[in-house]
Each structure stands twice: as C-alpha cells, then as structure tokens.
Structure 1
C-alpha cells in the first residue's frame, strides 16, 4: 500500500518514462491498469482481441426494424463507486465528467417462489418493514447485522488493498486485526444464522454470493459484506449501461496517451530466461518491459504461456482448481414495458439449496432454477427503441466439465423453455409473445466467444483454498515481468474488487520499473503502512 505523498512524488517524477508496458485484454482491470500506468509516464499499448472494449463488461447490441437494443453483457450495476472514482482522481481526471452513475431508489425486488415478494432498499426502516413480512424477530436483528458487518468491512478493506505473495502476509498487522471477524470456517449462510432464524431471511442477505458464482452454503462468511455494502452504500446504475463506463475509461486511457488496438489478439507472452520480454501479435514480436494480463486467468495461461515456462501454475494445476458456476443468458428486446417490476429482480427457487447443489454438480439443468432479471429501461429508457424495453435474464448453471451438461442445440432449447417458464413464475407474464430481439449465451459461448475458461464467468471460485496468497498473485509468481489484473487474481471478482486489484498490480509495476532511487524511496515509505490515495 502506498501513501498519498509517495503517489504524488511518483506522479510528478514521471517515474515510468521510457518504459513500455503491454496490457493483454481490454476489460475493466486492463483499462484501469492502462490509465494508472500511462499517468505514470509509461508507453502503454493495450491489445484487445475483440472489436470493442469491456470483455464481459461490454454490451450486446441488436438492431431491429423498431430500432437498436443494448444490453449489458455481464455486470449490470456498480457497488461502492468510490474505488473507480479514486482511479480517475489519481490520474488527474473527474469520473463524473464522463460517467453517470445513478443511485437506485430501490435496490431490487426479491421474489420468493411461493411468496412473499419484497422490495428492498438501503433505507433501514423500509428494509425492516419488508423483512418483517417474513419474520418480525429477524427484522429486529437487521441493525445488529449491519453494525457488525460495518466493522468487518472496515477491518478487512486494508487486506483487500495490498498484494498477498506468501503465507507470511497472513501475519501482517492488518490481517491479524481482521482475522477474528472473518470466521473462516463458517459459510455465509451459517454466519447469518447468528442473526436470522428464517431461511428466507438468510437468503435475502446471502443470495449476493452468486456475484462470486458460489452457493451461500459454501461461500466463506467474509462475503456477508456484499449484502452489507448494498444496504450501506446503495446500488448504482451506469447510465448507458456498463459498456458506457468501459468506453469512458477507454477515452480516458487515450487521453493519457495509451495506444488501444482492437481486433488485435495476442498469441504468446514472449520470455527470455524466465522474464517477459513482450508479446507476439499478428504483426510479430512487440517488446515490452512489463506485461499486464487482464485476460481470463485459466484461459490466458493455457493459451499464451507454454506449460514448460510455468512452475507453480502448470496446466494440471489449473485444471485441478475449483471454478465458479457459469450462466445461461437471455437478452430479450420486447415490445412494450414491464412497469410493475423494478430495475433488478431476484427470483429465488423454493428449493434454493437443491438448485445450487445441482448447479455445483453440473450434471443436469435444474428444473427449479433461480433467476436474475434486469429491467433496465425503467431507469434508462435509451437502452431500447421508443415503445420497447430490454430484459436481461441470467440463470446460473454449472461450468463446463467432463461428464457435465453438453450444450447441444437441444439443451439450449430446453434451457430456453425452462427460463421462459420461470419468468412467468417470477411474475413476468406475457413476455414471449412480445419478444422482438433475442440473443442467448451458454457456457460454451462464454468459453468460445469470450475466452472464459470452462465458461466459469466468475472465474476461480472464492473458497479459502483460493483466496489471498493462494490465488494467482498480482505480480505473477511464475514469470518475472508479468502482472495480473481481473477476477482471477487477488483480491477477486466483482467490478470494485477488480478495480482495486488493477491498482495493486499497477503499483507493483511502478515499484518494479521505477528508477532505483525512486523505487527505494517508494519501498521505504510503503513499509510504514500508509494507505493508498483516496482511501
């Protein structure tokens, strides 16, 4: 972690002048890294194999006779935007000049399959009244839950702001302060049982583990902070969709001097004597002093770095790791609107535990699927032609594996029928007859079209064996001069966490490439335990 004085000193010095950095992948982590490193004076080139920036945070667009529909591809909202704001501020820019994040009055509709249906907000009084419809005693424990998780969040944030390179990093003071609040052997659901007795109440505060592609019955108890963050800070909709944020970051990167090359796949990370020397593209070898890999970790390592050049992260090791679930996606442009539904709807199966067990097993489609539905046009009508609206529908499914679901045309059609039936059950009536545009993504599409290893859209699972120092390191341990950004490295998945990880990795690049006298000053100051700019 770096204090404000150190960052300012480096910024004024242009510490990476004449240093060349290649960034592989134009997702949120790659864009944030490009901005930060270019602002330090580096000659940054960002390579994106697709024709648009964003990766899983890009857009699905469909043109029809009625006009154009636009959908978020993956992430549909922002939590805790201060982290992104800090990145812009550090680069001498104002996020608000190019990005509009609208705080929603209501966080989401929470629809239990057999009732009740709740409308949850960040207003604790309203939240208590809604939860009381499940259990009045549970409602009386909400403020205690919020207070305890406020303390947990405050204690754990410093841990998420620095790299973890060895087991010794677990013994640093910030981790020792945070550890008593983590209950590492407890799951999210079990931790919530200390407050809430009704399983439906616990689901109302634990379904957020799906943001990590995990079951609340398996997800480590740390991640109760996800629901806390929603209720403490609110949920934000990026006007124009998440892609609008990626486009604004791309423009900011260009303003800072980054060269962005679209439709420019990287075929290999070039190395010499265990150190990265550049990237191999369609134009041939291109030299770099450092390479930041923002592509999906499992996919990038098995495709861009020969197995013989990796020590810890061999192909066999990558294959043995635990991965998140995948998703079956439907992007529906419909005639008319759904005015009685909120911006976000969470539809929870009556058999949620069995539903997630079947997802984790990955051997079949679960007939009792839960859904997430975004009704974006109720907030952002420009996402669809006049008189129309968009529905983004996500059904969690197992990731690709031997013996798992084979995503044939027949399976795809079966999943579509299942989603349409569950939409009806969730209260979205008469949708199918109004569809004017439709696009589907299966786990196979995620792997083949978006380069997501095993189609696991939330990356490596966030279990205890794959967090902190056991996750791929921000300064990649197998090859000197390679750094990682994105959900596959520490701290993990989710947009605010990915932005924080990009900052960690960028600061390591700065530390490693800056001239020795500045690097020494940097390391001496950072050992004093100060926090990063904007914290």
Structure 2
C-alpha cells in the first residue's frame, strides 16, 4: 500500500475478541495500529486462566458459526486452520433433567438428534424438524441485519430490514416460540437455554433469538485445541504479522477529545498517544463511566447507564481435578424447577436454592489443558448481577460451598471435593472489580427490544467522532460471532470515513462446514 494509506493510525482500547478482530483487519488494511490492554493476556473476560499445571478458558468455552471465523481470517489474508486446530463436537452437549434421570445428548447430525428426541420424547421429533425448517428461513432474513450497521431508524426502512420484519418474532419470546414446536417442558428448555448466552430469560428474550439454538444444530460447536484462548493467540499472531503493536498490562485512562472529536488516549502511566481513530473494545458501560472526561458525554451519563437493562451474571469455579471426569465436553444440569430458577436469576435477583449449573469438561478431548490423567473442570452457575442486594463478599464462601454441593449431587461428580488440586472462584463482584465488567453483567447489555439494532449503542459512536465501538455492548450484540461482526462493521465504517472503501472478501456460503476435524 502507498505511504498515504499507511499514515492512518488507530488505537484499540482492549484486546478482547472485538479488539483483536479489529486489530487483524485494520492491520491487514495498512493502518498503523496500537492495542492497549489492561490484562497481561488477550481475550478480555474470555482470556486464558492458568492454575499450576491446569489451563482454563475464563469465559467463552466454544466456537459456533465457524464460517464467520474463517471469513474473518480470510479478510486478513490468512486461514484460521493454519493457526488453530478446530475439533467439531459430537454430541453438542449433554442436557441433564430430573437430577440426571433424563439425559438428552443432541448430535451434530440432525437425523441422529431426531432419533434421540424420539427415544426420550416419542412424537416430538416432528417438532424438531419443523423448528429447523422454519428457523432456516428466518435465519436467511435475520443474518444480513447482523452484518451491517444500524445508525438510526432510517436503517429499518432498508429493503433487507423490511423483508426481515415478519420473521423477527419480536412480539413473542424465545419460550413462546419453542412452545409452538414442543409439548414437553424439558424439550422446550433444551432449545431455549441458549437465551442464557445473552444473559436473559427465555420467557423475556425476544423470539428473534431462537436462531441461537438453530445455529448450534445447523452448524455445530467447535473446540479449539488449547481452549478458546488459543484463538486469541492466533489473532494476536496474525495482527502482529500485519505490523500491529500490542501493549499488554498497559491500561488506558482516558480517551482524549477536542470539540467533540477523539484525538488520542492517555494511559494510566501518563503517556499520551495521538491517533486518527479510537476503537473502543472495553466493557461498554464501564468505559462510558471511566474513559471520558466529565461533561463530554450527554447520552451515556452514569445515571442513564444505571437505568439500562443488563444481563445476568455468573459465579465461576475453575477446578484442577485429580483423575478423569465421566461427563460430556459440555453438560447442563437443570434445576428441578427451571422456570423458578431463571426468574430468580433475572427478575427477583435472588440466589436460587435449587440452581442450574453448566460444566465444561474439555480434558478428555484436549490433553493440553491438564496433566495426564487429570481434568480441568470449568463450572458456571448463572446468578443475578450486582443490581440485586446479595452480599457477594460476605456470602462468598457460602456460594462456593453451594456450588460444590450442587456439583457433588451429580452422580459422576460424587466426592469431587477430595480430588481438587487447584481452584479459583469468581463472583459477580470479582467480574466487576477484576475485569471492569459493569454490574458484573458478564453478557453485557441485555438484548431486550429497547436495546437491539438501532437502539443499541452504535458502532459509529454517537457522542464522539472518530470513536468506534466493538464488543458485546454494541450492535449486533454479545456472543463471539456477533462480536466479530461488530469489529467488521466498525472497520468498514472506518474505511468509509477515510474514503478508502474496499469490498469485503467474498463471503463463504453460510452452509460451509467450517473445516473442522
């Protein structure tokens, strides 16, 4: 590229998934890029956690929509498969109901899943086929809306949005939609629990998001060897190959502005760095509260941020276990009264006596994560965010004990406490204090109707020119595929602002298998 193009500079605040994707793309397009990250490792709240000889993903534990990941690397002139070994999971996960007496293990093969549904819930397999057929049509209409910016209400009048509107099901809920396909409550839960990926209740989450379950069953789930953090390493490597500079352990203090336009950043150590563009990948609400001088923002003041809706939080146990664990790669153990459990997490904001729990057990498939014959166990319990009145500090040990008790109630994990060699524990308060996650809301802003599409913070930041948002707190939303899309949208907008618009690399067919092993 010519000298003039290379002279454009960008500072990226945060090396989370969105910041890393933006770094790769901007670097590949000839921008001079510096990434500043508070933590010593990349990945943001989904970074790598090491405890002795055990390795864990702190947040996200799988990759979905592998074709989007392939497109992202292709746009940077690379193949993801040259950097990361991706393994397709089968079964997708184990779903444990009735204290483990009923176990559904959906396959990556839809015919096999239908057989398993028929064996456990006779006659319900027809609903599964109808669901997949209907959602396929819906996905074709919704997917284009996730690939472009929504900067105002005029964007709803564009042809793709008008065409998609009847398929969005925004007046229904995820649970309401699934009730059209299945009679058995357990089967409804098997296709609605994905609302938790957004930190929301399936009874409140807009019906649009049934596409999450569809995408899992249509495109499968993948495990990167070395954990999801191996993907962050790969993205850092690709970005560096394009000249991007990473400054780990160097937090940004303030985004500098002049007459409503960003001019650069000031670091916590006092150094300043000028730039043509600031890509903000930090937690949205925390960044709004901390990274601008007083009186710069009018729309996102502390009071207005407080009034927004936020996802639930998570209590996390990371356990280094002596011996192997006889559970699938992913397993979800549902509360006896799941509806009550979800209501407590998202509405009454109280700790459940009977919680649901998710267990990630990757060591059988991936021996790099634990010593031979041992297991790295990741345990997630959805809990209320900090807007509730739980004393997370005072009840810390009680909560940890409750999680361990719930784990040991699972047949395959009896006596687990005696096998623990390493452990770490996170509460919502730890998410906030250690990783700047506002209100401990690990899945960021909620995806209710008032916080979707044009009503979500815009990729082209509304309040300060030359600031661009990436991550779960902007359009199209939280979750790795949409976070990657947020970076692609913002980079396209940056190029447009610089008069350097180039067509995206030709997208692969959405039915691509993803090249997984």
The TM-score, its normalising length taken from structure 2, stands at 0.95
Contact 2:255 2:266 in 1 (8 A): yes
The 8 Å contact of residues 54 and 243 in structure 1, kept in 2 or not, is answered as yes
CA distance in 1, matches of 2:506, 2:455: 23
Measure the CA separation in 1 of the matches of 2:19 and 2:348.
Answer: 31
Q: Please tell me whether the aligned partners of residues 74 and 505 of structure 2 are also in contact (alpha carbons under 8 angstroms).
A: no
Measured after TM superposition, the shift of residue 13 of structure 1 is 6.6
**Equivalent residue number for residue 262 of structure 2:** 276
Cα 1:16–1:400, aligned 2, differ >3 Å: closer, same or farther? Answer: farther
| Mapped partners of 2:478, 2:381: distance in 1 | 18
Q: Which of 31, 51, 62 is matched with 2:51 structurally? A: 62
Q: C-alpha deviations, 1:412-447, integer Å up to 9, x for none? A: 111112212221333322211100011000101100
* Superposed displacement of residue 499, structure 1: 0.4
Q: Which shifted more, 211-220 or 117-126?
A: 117-126
Contact 1:134–1:200 (CA<8 Å) still a contact in 2? no
Distance of 2:506 and 2:440 partners within structure 1: 34
* Map of 1:336 onto structure 2: 323
Alignment of 1:231-310 (within 5 A): 231-281=217-267, 282-310=269-297
Q: Displacement, 1:490?
A: 0.2
Residue of structure 2 in register with 1:5 after alignment: none
| 1:8 corresponds to | none
In 2: Cα distance, 1:218 partner to 1:15 partner: 50
Is 1:508 aligned to 2:493, yes or no?
yes
Cα distance between partner residues in 1 of 2:116 and 2:404: 28
User: For residue 46 of structure 1, what is the aligned residue in structure 2?
Assistant: 35
C-alpha distance in 2, partners of 1:307/1:313?
Answer: 11
Alpha-carbon shift at residue 325 of structure 1 (Å): 0.3
Q: 4+ runs of 1 displaced by more than 3 Å?
A: 12-16, 530-535
Kept in 1: contact 2:13–2:37 (CA 8 A): yes
The Cα of 1:50 is off from its aligned counterpart by: 1.1
Cross-structure match for 2:25: 36
2:441 corresponding residue in structure 1 = 456
Contact 1:103 1:236 survives alignment (8 Å) = yes
CA distance in 2, matches of 1:332, 1:307: 42
8 Å CA contact 1:14–1:40 kept in 2: the answer is no
Matching residue of 1:6: none
Superposed CA deviations along residues 247-298 of structure 1, whole A, max 9, x for unmatched, are 1111111111001001111000000000000000124221011100000000
Give the structure 1 partner of residue 155 of structure 2. 169
> CA-atom RMSD, angstroms?
1.6
Gaps of 5+ in 1: 1-11
Alignment length (residue pairs): 506
Q: What residue is the counterpart of 1:398 in the other structure?
A: 384
Q: 2:393·2:429 contact (CA, 8 Å) conserved in 1?
A: no
Supply the distance in 1 between the matched residues of 2:205 and 2:505 (Cα, whole angstroms): 28
- 1:352-367 correspondence to structure 2 within 5 Å: 352-361=338-347, 363-367=349-353
Give the alignment partner of residue 146 of structure 2, picking from 134, 155, 160: 160
Kept in 1, the 8 Å contact 2:316–2:425? The answer is yes
Counterpart check, 1:199 vs 2:188: no
Which deviations, in whole Å up to 9, do the C-alpha atoms of 1:444-488 show, x marking residues without a partner?
110011110011000000111100000000000000000000000
Residue 124 of structure 2 aligns to a residue in which SS? helix
Whether the aligned pair in 1 keeps the contact of 2:38 and 2:249 (CA below 8 Å) is yes
- DSSP 3-state at the match of 1:500: helix
Cα 1:362–1:439, aligned 2, differ >3 Å: closer, same or farther?
farther
Q: State which of 343, 359, 377 in structure 2 corresponds to 1:373.
A: 359
Contact 1:486–1:493 (CA under 8 A) maintained in structure 2: yes
Contact 1:134/1:198 (CA < 8 Å) preserved in 2? no
Asked whether the 8 Å contact 1:307–1:314 carries over to 2, the reply is no
Deviation at 1:132, TM superposition (A): 2.5
1:26 is aligned to 15
Of residues 115, 122, 128, the one that matches 2:114 is 128
C-alpha change, 1:192 and 1:303, in structure 2 (3 Å) is same
Note if 1:75 corresponds to 2:43: no
- Give the whole-Å Cα distance in 1 for the aligned partners of 2:351 and 2:77: 49
5+ residue gaps in structure 2? Answer: 510-517
| Offset at residue 306 of structure 1 (A) | 2.8
What's 2:371 paired with?
A: 385
Q: Secondary structure at the match of 1:53?
A: coil
